[in-house]
Amino acid sequence: MQPRQVRIIGAPLDLGAGHRGVDMGPSAIRIAGVQRRLQHLGHTVRDGGDIETGVFETLDAGDPTLRFFEPVLDVNRRLARAVEQALEVGEFPLVLGGDHSIAIGSVAGAAAHYRRRAAAIGALWIDAHGDMNTPDTTPSGNIHGMGLAVALGLGNPEFVNLHASGPKVRPEHVALVGVRDLDPGERRALKENHVRVFTMRDIDQQGMSAVMRQAIDVVTTGTAGVYVQFDMDVIDPATAPGTGTPVPGGLSYREAHLVMEMLAERADRVIALDIVETNPALDNRNTTAKLATELILSLMGKAIYAP
């Protein structure tokens, strides 16, 4: 991989999730040495600090189908600007979450940058969940389960039109990998929008390599590049215990690294990375944050052997 200029953007938002503690995720990944280790790989790294977020205990959740709507919207507005600004000056946005509701802003910022260049972006959603709920289908009201739906133009209009009007990605440019827990409304929305979904059964039957080849083809065909959304709950909780919505039967340690290593082989097409849902309050000796850091390094060019 050619050296890149990386901007770390912390988005310590926990208002979109159902469990406290994920706001400490960016700090945990920093403690694991992400900046120093990226620099060791030859990248130039600037840490832009954290987007300011609200304090859970001081806020009213409000609408039960869109919990903490206003503060989540505000954080995502500012995150969209930060991601767009990084891309404008040729930097690679590395967004450290926080819960996965931050994808609403980060994808919006990247889409705006490329839209001005008359280009589309792809989205590779590596996640145990579909993130395809809307206020009409959500069983919990947690906005971290709505990010992909919003990116596709579904759900609350203020989210859908954040930073730029309308959808941010097209369904034919989206691949969802590692899914093993979908709500009924999400299943319908994914089918109706013809989103390419690779479940854990697909991975079991075809192998991680074959699935990733197909997924990368989906998100890079007809796009200027791909925004990688990596939710740590895609990994089996025995390997990554520090996440708020664990589902048994996830990716293994090696499968998760293979995902990133295969993306590194197409590094010229990867425009940004969000790594989300690391929750130190539920973790064991920062295990999950350390793994998140290792996965970032794999995407950014760390290899076992380079001939």
Which residues does the annotation mark as catalytic?
100, 127, 129, 131, 144, 231, 233, 277
Q: Which DSSP state fits 204?
A: H
In sequence order, the β-bridge partners of residue 44 are: 5
Q: Which two tokens stand for residue 100?
A: 């996965």
Q: Which two tokens stand for residue 288?
A: 């999950």
Q: State the DSSP string of 237-287.
A: TTT----SS--SS-B-HHHHHHHHHHHHTTGGGEEEEEEE---GGG-STTH
Instruction: Classify each residue of 208-221 as buried b or exposed e, where b means 16 or more C-beta atoms within 10 Å of its C-beta.
Output: beebbeebbebbbe
With residues binned 3-state (H G I as helix, E B as strand, rest as coil), the percentages for the chain, rounded to 5, are 45, 15, 40
CB proximity list for 276: less than 8 A, separation 6 or greater? 22, 25, 95, 97, 98, 99, 100, 102, 103, 229, 230, 231, 232
Distance of CA 60 to the CA centre of its chain: 26
**What 3-state class would DSSP assign to 101?**
helix
